[in-house]
Structure 1
Amino acid sequence: MTTPAGKRSDIFKKQVTPYVYLLPTIILMLILLIIPIIMVIRYSFFDNVIINKNPTFVGLENFAKVLTDPTFLVAIKNTLYFVIISIIAHLVIGMFFAMLLNTRYLGNKTKGIFRVIYALPWMFTASVIAILWKMMMNPNGIINYLLQAGGLISQNIEWLGSRQFALFAVTLINIWSGYPFYMISILAGLQGISTDLYEASALDGANAVQTFTRITIPQLKPILVSLLMLDFVWTLQQFALIWMTTGGGPINATETISTYIYKQGFTKYQYSMASAGAVILLVVCTIIAIFYVRQQKARD
């Protein structure tokens, strides 16, 4: 017969056991995530960190310098263009291909082939995507050749080397590499919508536009909201693709917040300025993350 002390011991073991299994992950998160974030936040309030063994506390001075830096203001403008255009294009293209792959007019084998083709950009790493598009956007590359063959341009364009076209070019690359995530997610949502809803709407005489706006979009709303929030954070933090294609140039034409922070820290060795910029980016991403968590809870 179990004694009261034994019962308490069993209850304690049951309560502690889950945390024992989580302990390795918690330790890794603490070392690789929590501590670095705390260090960066601390650095943002000091001057000459890392280089100087005894940095000077300057309060919000680093944030004031960053927010009044003309280059940072240009980076904000470029980032907003890059993020907004990318998200809208991801949504439109992803929705189009998802609905195309969900149609009953294509056979299963045909759908399978197109799913692989449409999902290919998502399978490439940033380095492969950068090399591929730098070759295609070269003045003597395939893109200029096709545009000239179609009579759309009369001379070769430096897509990634021109201040006029560089930001548009990297945005186009990001759109191409990111739409499959939307396509796959939306396709899964479409396949989860009951066909009874569409059959009932057909009996009521609803046309394609009414069916799309009254049934498809409302049913996909939770998925779309989640996709938009996640994509906003991911695109806001996009660094590798921009750095490997243009490096933030030419003359800050493609400078974003991520490349600005990197240059401040590892090119100019202004770690305090870089930390202040990183904290600003962290605050924005945290706000979006809070909305995302609330949306997920409401959905559950």
Structure 2
Amino acid sequence: MSVQIAVIDDWQNVARGVVDWSPLEAVGRVHFLHDYPADTATMIERLKAFTVICVMRERSTFDQALLQGLPNLKLLVTGGMRNAAIDIAAAKALGIQVCGTDSYKQAAPELTWALIMASTRNLLAEANSLRAGGWQAGLGGDLHGKTLGVLGLGSIGQKVAQFAQVFGMRVLAWSENLTPEHAVQAGATWVSKRELFEQADILTIHLVLSDRSRGLVDAEVLSWMKPTARLVNTARGPIVDEQALVQALTTGRLAGAALDVYAEEPLPVDHPFRHLPNVLATPHVGYVSEQNYRQFYEQMIEDIQAWAKGAPIRVLG
């Protein structure tokens, strides 16, 4: 059998070189597509020939309408073991197998701290000043002795909290299911939601996107924060009410934000986050690291091989 396999969402054109895809030659032919997501009709035209599609986590949306338009599709493989952009129930009903991969657990915490440090020390403005022929542009902020608020103390939030202790920061945490005992185990102190936002000098978000977390950081919550505080989001864009955040940043209600995720990705060209001077914005690169991609793609190959042998692994749903 010669199965047509598509590797899509490869926006940086790196998938081909990160791992060795030759083991799939026994299964079929691999095609690398570098287009951004498009409307359903365009996506159907682009993908209708493929039996297997490898997707990067939460880039292209595979909803019921798209899945129904791909009658040849039998296997959908995603980076990570969770992908809110795939309608797994619809896939199952259509007889499409969905499989995932493990992920490198250090990538997101490391980027979170890169953003915290760069934003606090005003590194973007300083680096741009230097490139433009200038020298010192202003005063950087400090972390030692300050308070880090961690919204969501799961596996990523715990690592971020541990890093904070190295910097000599006080660490507070809250989420709906967090207990004081669990917070202490991670080196944090449990506080109420309001206390978290009121006391944090840096507020960093590490929640899973769900109906409960969508829009959780709204205008009211932002109004609780100190005007000197900074908001960091490397989790998911829709957790934050973007218009409320733009308003807080524009009016000086909030000192700054460091963001890697957005309600719409890629971020629209005219979005204020691309231009506001107190925003450090990166293009959702929290998981875009060499080690993470290698793990994603190596395990995607394993998933396809196992499926071809009739014994799927890392099945979702």
TM-score (structure 2 length as normaliser) = 0.25
TM-score (structure 1 length as normaliser) = 0.26
- Kindly indicate which of the two structures has a greater share of residues assigned to strand: 2
- Kindly indicate which of the two structures has a greater share of residues assigned to helix: 1
Tell which has more relative contact order, 1 or 2 (C-alpha 8 A, sep 6+).
Answer: 1
Q: For the pair shown, which has the larger CA radius of gyration, 1 or 2?
A: 1
